[in-house]
Structure 1
């Protein structure tokens, strides 16, 4: 019989297995890491060698092109300067060599005697003259004269008509006559065009080629993608008189960790082998973990159900309670055992039959339509207290999808109903307060607006009494006229009461089509009456063709009176008597709107006052109520217009403007400003 294994032996075996598995995994990781590192290094070396080869071939090709260009220009220099075949030969040369942009013939003093521009490109020196850019060319020609051989100039930048420009190098070939330089042939070569012929089309799609200066500044570039700077090759192109640094930059970045398909397959098989071994080793442990996780999930689910404040209730197909969480038991006051009865004990006795029938109907509808809508009902606690609840029913399905009962969520809404009742009471109190505020607003507006017609009545009455003290032949007609004015103002006070009352209640007021001259004439007596007290002149400025408006006459006249009164009072203190002029102006700048202006010559409005000018109960006078301008703006906006103000045209004064709709466009939208 085999002796039982001791715990220490089992622990050693487990440790040995763990060490062996760890060494196996470590060796596999090391092997794969070395394979990846070697492959990446090989790919990087291969890419660098490839770009070095491309750089050498490009430098060789560029030198070959330049030397071929030199020979062709030398052949061109053998022709006589005055020969007729020289320009066609130069054109033919530039057509065959696109990088050649210009050919010049110069005399011994370096003065250009003839030149030909390339037909395939814009003229090279169209923006700047050749003389301004010939310093490097002249130096190359002087060197060619001394050496009696062709010389290349340093590169220089030539701006072009397209707003860009091109880096250019000149080739100067001396023309010898009797062994002595008698002139020069100068060919201008575009470096970007020269680079285009240095690479094959396939190479140009994968690399970027450029010419750089000694400090690394780029002179010209060609090729497809921008180089990444990872794989770079530089070559020096030696030319007679100068040298060019050629830089070839690969568009490819650093090799990835899996640079080719072979390595990917090897790594994939290795990883697959490792995964299979790990899965086999972890299968048993996963089963144990799954069992523990299931037990923990059931425990956690139970804890969650027990900690809910929402009641959960499960019933079978007969409607009997099979499960209830502690929240539901605490809600109704019964234990789970007490709920296992044919008739639920939380049903009020007076509703048992009604609830039983509702249960049959509702559970049948839930079974048929899978509905999850909630409904409200009344339950009874164990102490007999009734309380409202909201119930959401849903079918309870088993693992095979068969229905085994119903699951219900029960919410106690008694606190919510109490809050709703309290909110309703608060709303009623707020509505009562709002009605009281409306009554106060109506009283304030009426007292403010009735002040002017009552003041007019008092003025006419005082004038009538003065006439009666010393009657004459004109007394009776003047008394008759005064009494008519008193009657008109009394009628006006009545209209004000009716109109302000309608305005406070926000009802649509009766509007009519009126000429603007009638509106001005209606307020003119009251305005002149107040203007005489301060020595203010009143001027009326109406157009020849009087425009008409659609408005509430009483409220608009009140606006004109308020604005005129404010204008007169603004000129009473600081304005000299000869400058106290009030202007009432009407203009129709827009087909849909008529503009009224009230202009004074007072001190103007300070910025800090202007910001609060239309605020209710804001006033700058001790006796004012601060409702005039606020009411005026409300009346104009009620008509769809705009009320604003600006400084008058002169050095002093303010101009208040408001708009009213013309009759045909009474329902149109108001302009942004009063003078729009």
Structure 2
């Protein structure tokens, strides 16, 4: 087997080596060469991967530096617009200072603002003082350059000492205020380069990045350092050219050494990585769904809590065994007990009246057993506050059903009706007082009529009494004969009749004026009219009005409050007679009172009061039942409103109709015996 090496070219020592050793060396050299080639390929791949990673890091850093420079330019342009928007004018110094201070609070990179006139004298200023020659010279140069360019100009940076031994690198910006083509003043803004980097670029920096302003020779002026450093540093620079000044924006990025796994190891873990990534994606999706559900649940709970806390209605939840599981703040404030003292309690409850504990316990047992009627039906009861005071409440309860449709307890809605009852009592008392006032006003108007009506029976009584005395006083020495005694007896009977007549008039007025308890009773329609007819006829005789009464036969008695209905009849008849009194030239004034069954059927009765007066105009009809509205100078405007309220409290209805050929008819309905309206 030839080795491929000419015998003349073999070294002298090789001739003495065994042939098999030469073959082994050849094979091992090939394996070493193959291994070196593979190692070289792997090293090259690692080097190329590192170079690629470094180029990617450098490109990202270059893009970040460009973005940072763009952000700085936008920030300076935004600040310039805000400064030019400050108010000017001769009288705007205070407004300028106020808005300048507000602008400085919103723009931390600005440390000072000055408003100068055309001679660069300071008219107004805001911010920290920078009373240094350097500051004045840099600002003056910037303003001179701005006047030349007729545009904003920036000065070179300078170092300014601050209180406390610290300092900052500052830069001046001067913008001319041009009016009608001439410079009328300047706006000078002082920038802190450190604050400019920290507030504009700092929030966008990564933890491994740092940014700084440098001069052209590399002198660092301001810097925002990286929070974390790696083994390699990458640098990108951007020329930050400003009118009048040029700075270099330098961005440093720290990165760990590039590490690339061999392809074989990557191939081995690729499948596992794909599986892990898939599982991770599934977990991320489920986590996001769970977080969304938790967020929605938290929002729903917060909304429900805010809604329950804002309610003035008490809420109370009980389980199937009668233990309180929840009370809202309104219920705790209502009864005066804290939630910790109520939750978990069972019967008897601390807010139950002691003497009604057995009754309330039985009602709770019936409720828990479902034998208390429909859940929507409420019931009124009394609770006791922690201070011992009692108050009425309305309780509405409904079953509590959980998410699985299982009945787990009862939810109660408790309303404090003490204010409602107090308002109802006040309304009732006020109504009674208004009614009594109306009756007294009516009696006052009838005082003259009453005196005229009583004059007749009183005059007759006086005449009969004088005649009787004359008959009972005979001539001296003679005795009264039988005829005189008979005449005296007739006179005394007529005196009694006239006295009874006067008494009836006075009694009818007295019964009408005095306050009686408001209770419902069955009263025949004839008695209602008889109670007020004497008073009606008093005014009718004065106004020359004829009164006609018609009551249908077979009517059931009226179930009403007698005093209130009498007031309604009197008010309507008085209005009717006054309406006829205003009508001049009428041939006959006729007031018709009629009682019959209501056309709608049932035991309802219909009362009507008709006149032949001038009727009701359209503009008055629209406000006829409005309280305190009247067309008479002496009226109170409460009569018709009071009448409608009384009728509606009895469950009836009051309306009016135009009468043909003239006049008005007022009609109202009242319940007969067996058809009760709502109670007072």
Query: TM (normalized to structure 1)?
Result: 0.35
Larger Rg over CA atoms: 2
